[in-house]
Structure 1
Amino acid sequence: MFTTKGSVKTGQAAKYLVQLCKHFAHKVEVDLGETSADVAFPMGPCTITASSDTLIFEGRSEKAEGIEKMKGVIIIHLDKFAWREVPLDYQWEDGEA
């Protein structure tokens, strides 16, 4: 199992959590709570958590390519929603469990 943990600083973390989840819910199952959400991407599950100034992404996939695809989907969509803040400084730490 391959894993990734990513984060990005933004003063609008809660807003972007909701926007991302509403968008993703058009194609995949999303369980949105107050400060976090579980997203069932085809490549594997991802939990997104919003703090006061950071979005945190924790994903898993059976394949390393799945992790890269997941990160790409997140980056493309968040960059669109947060266009006023681009370029965002994404920090990713990949591993294996």
Structure 2
Amino acid sequence: MTRFEASVPTAHASRYLQQLCKHWSHRFEVTFDATSGEVRMTGATCRFEAAPERLSLYLEGEDAAALPRLCGVVADHLKRFAFREDLAVEWREAA
């Protein structure tokens, strides 16, 4: 299993987590609350953890070749919801 992680500094982590989960709930199986969320996409799972000054993103799946594209999809959606902020989403492959 391949896993990518990103830690995004923001004071609005909980809001963005909930927006992302609600957005994808019409298409995928989703569970979330104010501090954590999980989106079970086709072939991958994306988890979110909200802290007071940070949103942590975790994306894992079996198809290592498809994950970088999904990282881009998650980052693009987050940036759309956070259009008032200039968020830096830098994914790194986890060991």
Q: How does 1:5-84 map to 2 (within 5 A)?
A: 5-84=5-84
Long gaps (5+) in structure 2: none
TM-score normalised by L of structure 1:
0.89
Query: 2:28·2:41 contact (CA, 8 Å) conserved in 1?
Result: yes
Secondary structure of the residue aligned to 2:65 is: helix
- How far apart, in 1, do the equivalents of 2:53 and 2:15 lie? 11
- How far apart, in 2, do the equivalents of 1:34 and 1:11 lie? 13
- How far apart, in 1, do the equivalents of 2:14 and 2:34 lie? 8
Would you say how many aligned residue pairs link Structure 1 and Structure 2?
Answer: 95
Residue 89 (structure 1) aligns with: 88
Long gaps (5+) in structure 1: none
Query: 2:46·2:58 contact (CA, 8 Å) conserved in 1?
Result: yes
TM-score normalised by L of structure 2:
0.90
Query: Structure 1: which 4+ aligned runs deviate by more than 4 Å?
Result: none
Identity %: 35
RMSD of aligned alpha carbons: 1.3
